[in-house]
Amino acid sequence: MSKEQFKYLLSEHDLPTQWYNINADMPVEPAPVLHPQTKEPITPDFLNVLFPMSLIEQEVSIDRYIDIPEEVREIYKLWRPTPLIRARRLEKALDTPAHIYYKNEGASISGSHKTNTAVAQAYYNKLDGIEALTTETGAGQWGSALAMACNFFEMDLEVYMVKVSYKQKPYRRIIMQTYGADVYASPTDRTEYGQQLLAQNPESPGSLGIAISEAVEVAVTSGGVKKYSLGSVLNHVLLHQSVIGQECLKQMDMAGEYPHVVIGCVGGGSNFGGIAFPFLHQNLTAGKDTRLVAVEPQATPTLTRGVYGFDYGDTAKMAPIVKMYTLGHDFVPAPIHAGGLRYHGMSPQICSLYDAGYIEAVAVPQLATFEAAMQFARTEGIIPAPETAHAIRAAMDEALDAREKGEERVILFNLSGHGLLDLSAYDAYNNNLLVDDTLEITREEIQSNLPEVNF
């Protein structure tokens, strides 16, 4: 390989044929998932109200690898494999001995990593005879990806978009509508729960927890006509994202290096799990010792300041109760521009791994993330999504730490999406209109609002 090589490309023949399932190698015992009313372990029948049985089977599977259907792989080939890029210009700007690599999931046809699971979920729902889906979205990456996937499989889609993001990011709404989806600013007057919230606060900015509640309500009351689709948190979602890390393993081998640290931003956990879990597999089974670092906003520091306990997945208490780090199901975060990272909870798998010390987590402030995003854009030429900027901030901090210590360090991060539809956020930053929001709620306040369970 050339000493100055920047980009490591795989061919269509290198596209993974199977998803990697972390359930097969989990070093900690999973906690039960509980019914939101009875608080007893849920049954497949309860989950089947929301999800098709094929995805429920993936959710609970302990098979290490699950075959990717050929129809899904054919659609993946529209953008996969995505490039791995050595950020040499950023390295030079930071004057660091570290080698920085990033996996460019912004090369996806919808602009983010979300397309990996959107296509799979639409496929399995269609296979099970479902003709319409409901979902929520924060910044709109997930809604855009699922709208595109539903269009491919000729399915209807209702999207409940967090109101503050609906106003901040109109172009993602337009993308969803272009693909044929119906998009509503949540909370809405279309659901009983939305009407209840609007009666209490007509100016509610919304939250992912609220939007999930509305989408779940629509699915549950549809008489089986509509199913619910989730873009993060659950095992089958992180499973589909594992194509990212599997490709990275091949590409790092092409580069002749192996990462000391793998980094991803984290809101619900999908892009972090997607890049990190295949490397965690190597840690657990092949004697590797790569550090895995999840990066979250200082305004929504679920892992670093939340409580580890059982909580509802949504605000209206209709979604299952899971054990996770949480800021409380009724938490309404500050309206930061990283809308995809504003969830009150986190993937149960990531939470249990973090609690057991297998992964690390850091929280970074909004202004520092945009500072990093600006430097990345001016050196590497890519304008990253505000969510991705959190991973860039952490990667730059690792590189600066390596410089301080005089260490060679190989850093890999997931560039989970581009920011070409987030330019209002950059405009706000350039005009000094952004602030660093901090968390006001205490652990005691969070704990007092969690459901009482016997597990």
Closest CA to 140 of 119, 121, 112: 112
**β partners of residue 227:** 133
User: How many CB atoms are closer than 10 A to CB 445?
Assistant: 13
Is residue 347 within 8 A of residue 233, CB to CB? The reply is: yes
| Residue 3: per-residue pLDDT | 61
Q: Which domains, from first to last, does the chain contain?
A: 7-15+77-111+242-448 (3.40.50.1100), 18-67+114-235 (3.40.50.1100)
| Residue 1: per-residue pLDDT | 36
pLDDT digits (tens, 9 = 90+) for 76-129: 999 999 999 999 999 999 999 999 999 999 999 999 999 999 999 999 999 999
Residues in the chain where the model's pLDDT stays below 70? 1-3
Residue keyed to tokens 């098979």 = 63
Residue keyed to tokens 């594992």 = 242
**β partners of residue 187:** none
Radius of gyration from C-alpha coordinates of the chain = 20
| Residue 337: per-residue pLDDT | 81
Q: Is the peptide bond before 386 cis (omega within 30 degrees of 0)?
A: no
Q: How far apart are CA 454 and CA 39, in angstroms?
A: 8
Q: How far apart are CA 117 and CA 141, in angstroms?
A: 12
Q: How far apart are CA 223 and CA 90, in angstroms?
A: 53
User: How many CB atoms are closer than 10 A to CB 142?
Assistant: 32
Pairing between strand 99-104 and 132-137? unpaired
Crossing angle of helices 141-152 and 115-127, in 10° steps, is 40
Closest CA to 415 of 393, 433, 437, 443: 393
Written in H, E and C, the secondary structure of 352-373 is: HHHHCCCCEEEEECHHHHHHHH
Q: Helix count (H) and strand count (E) of the chain?
A: 19, 15
DSSP 96: -
Backbone angles phi, psi at 291, to 5 degrees: -75, 140
Q: How far apart are CA 62 and CA 66, in angstroms?
A: 10
Residues listed for the chain: 455
- Cα 282 to Cα 245, 259, 277, 289, distances in angstroms: 11, 12, 9, 8
Q: Where are the alpha helices (DSSP H) in 179-294?
A: 192-200, 208-220, 235-241, 243-255, 270-285
- Cα 175 to Cα 111, 180, 239, distances in angstroms: 11, 9, 26
- Position 318, amino acid: M
Q: How far apart are CA 216 and CA 226, in angstroms?
A: 10
Q: Which residues, at least 6 apart from 268, have a Cβ–Cβ distance to it below 8 Å?
A: 208, 231, 232, 233, 237, 343, 345, 346, 347
Is residue 159 within 8 A of residue 176, CB to CB? The reply is: yes
